[in-house]
Each structure stands twice: as C-alpha cells, then as structure tokens.
Structure 1
C-alpha cells in the first residue's frame, strides 16, 4: 500500500548550483551531501510540516534522459500563499509552466507549476485537504 511521499528526487547537471538555488527557495541549507559537500553527487533537504525529503541527484546518474526541456512528474507542494510563492519562484529564476488554475468548482483547490533552472517541474497548490489533515494532527 502506498503510504505517502518519502523522497522526491530531482536531477541537475550542476548539483552545487541546484543546492544553492533550492537553499534560497526553501530558506534552509541541505543537511546531507555525498560524496562531499564540496563536490556533491547528491544533496538532500528536509522541510515542511512533515519534513518531506527533496533529493538533488547529479544528472549523469539519471535512469532517463535529462536536460532537453522540462521533465518529471509534477509533485504539488501545499503553500499558504499561492500567488506569493509563485512570484517567489519566478524571482529566483524559475520559468512559468502553468499559471494559477482553479481546480474543481470553487472548492479551494488551486494549482500552478514552474520549471526550475535545472529542468525539473515544481508544482505548488492551495490544498484545503492538506490543511484539514494538518489541523487534525495538532493536539
């Protein structure tokens, strides 16, 4: 049975540049790097309410072709301010993949997506269901 996302992996030809870009986006430093922080082939961040893992892997290890346009599944991360976060991503150098779209008849589900400078798709969304689950976990 699928239980939830554990790690999302993105690929980049320049892992150090990707680490710097994602550090700016997330507001934290990567906590893990191998084989070394100076010459990483893989870095990882933990962030958000459930400490989701985002791994950046050197593109030479990808099991598929990387670098010929946007690629990968669109994993949508919940954000509290969809417009503000979309603007933040674009200011950091991401390019718009799909602007803000209302999903469902005024249910509060709204999405947008961008392409990071390394060709990975990033989805963001306002997700009332996420907020309901989060509220239920707080005691």
Structure 2
C-alpha cells in the first residue's frame, strides 16, 4: 500500500460527563497530574501516550472514546482511508498551533481519529 505513513495510536480522547470526577480517576490510574487542565479539556501524558478528557463529548459530540492515529500527512491518509471505504465525519481542522485533526467512520460506524503535527 502506498501513501502517507502512520505512526501509531498515541492519543485517545474520552468523553466525560463530570470533568472533575473523571480527572481524579485518570490521575490515579495514570499516576501523573494532568499537563493540560481547562474547563473544556484535560490532558495527561503518560508512558508516551496522551489521554484526553472531553466534557460532554465536546463540539464533535463524541459518545465513546476515540483513538487517534498520528500520521505524517493527514490529507493523504484521509484520501487513502476514504478510498478504502471510510466516511469523513470531521474534516481536517487545526486544534492547536500546527496540530490538525480529522475523524472518519469505518463501515461499522466506529469513529477513528487522525492527527498530524507540523
């Protein structure tokens, strides 16, 4: 298969209903305090993984955890996975300086995330 390479799952976002309670649970589970802590997002870095907590599923309306694959070229990878049968759910957009994200659904409706850091 040709196209952009995938660097693996390094980020998983979890929708939460009570950010304070979830933050306490994940801090205990991971053994580290959050590195990002705001009213709209709490993020932990542990063992090379990023675990994010998104209150109410955020603007993207997440209803279950979403794993994000880190890719070198988000547009190329998006073209590859849609050609293979995925459907774009959330088009690529910037969420931080130099970070682009997008989501697709597989043929069974599972949400898959893509992240590109510039």
Q: Which bracket does the TM-score occupy, shorter chain normalised? A: 0.3 to 0.5
Higher normalized helix content (fraction of residues): 1
Output the TM-score relative to the length of structure 2. 0.47
RCO higher in structure (CA 8 A, sep ≥6): 2
Say which one has the larger Rg: 1
Higher normalized strand content (fraction of residues): 2
